[in-house]
A and B are shown apart, each in its own frame.
Chain A
């Protein structure tokens, strides 16, 4: 094998300019793919992290049917005492769960005594909420961040605060209808203003869960959802499956499961953007495959054509067709390896420079997000393996042609 490698390497050196150009083309493709994966991956991870860490959590547990009607924030689809106990027991006993937060979600009229608007409310236990969505406090752009909020306080979304000229310390009134249809009102002090983010729930107000129970006259335990944070986000699908399995034991009167469990991607439209990024990555990879395939095939077809007489000679002196094929396949392999190694090297340097440069960008209403591209070793290995495999594949037809060449015809070729 060493000898085949040596001869293949010498043959590549023979046509230095062509080898260099082909390698550069492969390098360019590899750099494009790796940079795209790293930059888009960074953007995706940042967006997903922001949505899951400041709002949704990694997964949520609801009563069956809640998600289908969640736009109207129904109170009659809340989880009740025994159901909450079952879910709580499961969450406490699941090692992969880092934290969870029980929430009551509802809609209310928001009044500053001169104007009124509709708001969506998240009623939470502050300590649990901060453990489950640790970036929520970072969204507080005005007011104290420590402790999130106390009873009698409200965090108001930026849009409502601006629209109704609300300042910190102002008193506002929330008027809500409970599930029996009776209306109740309660004053709150504005504790802080929250930065809005993309997606449902990104413009919700926050109050203490005990205040919600008072406002909605809820007696006993009742919640709308449980947001769950996992120790490892990548395990979300596996944990969801396990939880569904565990929770399916509790059934309603119709014999159907009481709970539904959803990952963040089912709860946020950003998952579609994430899917689009994945799709674009796939297209970029397909383009890389095409670049490698065409350039390697082209250069190997040329190599075979230019060395027909040489092929005839080595065939005549006893080189078997298999070894002739191996010689040309190895040339393709070396071209692929060369282009890939240079490409990976340049990509890693470029990613390092991009991180040093701290390039900022805006996404929706969020400004000054810092791009921090990174690439996983498995992505590098996958791209390398793909390029090298395609390089060998691209050499296959010319190598086959060389191996099958009639020695006499080849020797006569001028």
Chain B
């Protein structure tokens, strides 16, 4: 089963009389446990595509299947439920909830989205804290940890629900080189451990270099796909 399959996927934005074609009838498919990167200049449609795959934005035309389900026409509540169950998100700005501790941030999707029982939930959070090496920081609040640590927490939060797919929009853009390397390495390790598919949109050559499949977008069109190096130097 392919994890993502797009057929003639189109996204138009209408502003007044002007219609902008952000994505123009692209087609691709991504296999499970892949490490995929969408690259391209600003305005090429990377984020729009990720938003559609993440069920945050419905396509204008075409068909999109994610984790085997057609997500082309989901209601906002159905989309939220689908995301909560199948998709994890990693954001450029980390987007941790400031009033929750590191532990609670990772716990949030299990608690507020999936409603796991207490013991199972705590075990899973502990496991993720260990996986991202943040056990010592569990009781700290986001404003008490570094950017790299925040992104590690974000990775743990994205994976805590055992999501089949993680979408990362410029995940290393706000990190220094060394930290960015660690985060990419961490995500790759997570992919290996949990067989999760990671899809990135990025400008970062380091991330691109580590991707196994690279899709290049320009003006909303998929120009080419190629096999990357697969992250040998992380």
Mark the stretch among B34-42, B49-57, B189-197, B217-225 that contacts chain A.
B49-57
Known contacts being A322-B77, A323-B112, A408-B56, is A317 close to B89, with CB within 8 Å?
yes
Minimum CB–CB distance for A1 against chain B, Å: 11
A13 within 8 A of B: yes
Q: Which of B167-206 contact A (CB under 8 A)?
A: none
Known contacts being A3-B112, A7-B100, A310-B97, is A316 close to B83, with CB within 8 Å?
yes
In the complex, the answer to whether A318 meets B99 with C-beta atoms within 8 Å is: no
In the complex, the answer to whether A320 meets B77 with C-beta atoms within 8 Å is: yes
B20 within 8 A of A: no
Contacts of B111 in A (CB 8 A): 3
Known contacts being A3-B111, A407-B56, is A320 close to B81, with CB within 8 Å?
yes
B65 within 8 A of A: no
In the complex, the answer to whether B76 meets A318 with C-beta atoms within 8 Å is: no
Which listed residue (A4, A309, A318) contacts B113, Cβ 8 A? A318
In the complex, the answer to whether B95 meets A318 with C-beta atoms within 8 Å is: no
Among residues of B, the one whose C-beta sits closest to the C-beta of A326 is: B112
Contact with A along B64-79 (1 / 0, CB 8 A): 0000000000001100
Contact with A along B83-122 (1 / 0, CB 8 A): 1110111010101011110000000110111100000000
A91 within 8 A of B: no
Which listed residue (A4, A7, A11, A316) contacts B56, Cβ 8 A? A316
Known contacts being A3-B111, A14-B98, A408-B51, is A318 close to B77, with CB within 8 Å?
no
Contacts of A13 in B (CB 8 A): 99
B157 within 8 A of A: yes
In the complex, the answer to whether A318 meets B97 with C-beta atoms within 8 Å is: no
**Once the chains are docked, how many angstroms separate the CA of A159 from the CA of B227?**
112
Contacts of B108 in A (CB 8 A): 314, 317
In the complex, the answer to whether B98 meets A317 with C-beta atoms within 8 Å is: no
Contacts of A411 in B (CB 8 A): 56, 91, 95
B131 within 8 A of A: no
Contacts of A7 in B (CB 8 A): 97, 99-100, 112
Among A310, A318, A323, A407, the one with the most B-chain Cβ atoms within 10 Å of its Cβ is A318
Minimum CB–CB distance for A196 against chain B, Å: 67
Which listed residue (B51, B84, B99, B100) contacts A317, Cβ 8 A? B84
Contact with B along A1-21 (1 / 0, CB 8 A): 001100100110110000000
B26 within 8 A of A: no
Among residues of A, the one whose C-beta sits closest to the C-beta of B109 is: A317
Which listed residue (A310, A315, A408) contacts B80, Cβ 8 A? A315
Give chain B's interface residue range (CB within 8 Å of chain A). 20 to 34
**Once the chains are docked, how many angstroms separate the CA of A408 from the CA of B56?**
7
Minimum CB–CB distance for B120 against chain A, Å: 15
**Once the chains are docked, how many angstroms separate the CA of A36 from the CA of B102?**
49
Minimum CB–CB distance for B62 against chain A, Å: 18
Minimum CB–CB distance for B49 against chain A, Å: 12
Contact with B along A287-319 (1 / 0, CB 8 A): 000000000000000000000011011111111
In the complex, the answer to whether B99 meets A11 with C-beta atoms within 8 Å is: yes
Known contacts being A319-B80, A321-B76, A408-B56, is A313 close to B95, with CB within 8 Å?
yes
**Once the chains are docked, how many angstroms separate the CA of A323 from the CA of B51?**
22
Contacts of B76 in A (CB 8 A): 321
In the complex, the answer to whether B84 meets A314 with C-beta atoms within 8 Å is: no
Known contacts being A313-B91, A407-B56, A408-B56, is A318 close to B98, with CB within 8 Å?
no
In the complex, the answer to whether A319 meets B97 with C-beta atoms within 8 Å is: no
Contacts of B114 in A (CB 8 A): 318
Minimum CB–CB distance for B224 against chain A, Å: 27
In the complex, the answer to whether A314 meets B112 with C-beta atoms within 8 Å is: yes
In the complex, the answer to whether B109 meets A310 with C-beta atoms within 8 Å is: no
Contacts of A323 in B (CB 8 A): 112
In the complex, the answer to whether B113 meets A319 with C-beta atoms within 8 Å is: yes
**Once the chains are docked, how many angstroms separate the CA of A323 from the CA of B111?**
12
Contacts of B89 in A (CB 8 A): 313, 316-317
In the complex, the answer to whether B77 meets A317 with C-beta atoms within 8 Å is: no
Minimum CB–CB distance for A407 against chain B, Å: 5
**Once the chains are docked, how many angstroms separate the CA of A40 from the CA of B148?**
63
Among A4, A317, A322, the one with the most B-chain Cβ atoms within 10 Å of its Cβ is A317
In the complex, the answer to whether A14 meets B99 with C-beta atoms within 8 Å is: yes
Among B51, B91, B108, B112, the one with the most A-chain Cβ atoms within 10 Å of its Cβ is B112
Contacts of A316 in B (CB 8 A): 54, 56, 83, 89
8 CB < 8 A contacts A-B: A3-B111, A4-B112, A310-B97, A316-B56, A316-B83, A317-B157, A318-B109, A321-B76
Extra A-B contacts (6), CB below 8 Å, given A310-B95, A320-B81, A408-B56 = A7-B99, A309-B95, A314-B108, A316-B89, A318-B83, A320-B84
Q: Which 10 A-B pairs have the closest CB atoms?
A: A318-B84, A10-B99, A318-B113, A313-B95, A318-B83, A320-B80, A407-B56, A316-B89, A408-B56, A3-B111
Binding site for A on B (CB under 8 A): 51, 54, 56-57, 76-77, 80-85, 87-89, 91, 93, 95, 97-100, 108-109, 111-114, 157-158
Binding site for B on A (CB under 8 A): 3-4, 7, 10-11, 13-14, 309-310, 312-323, 407-408, 411
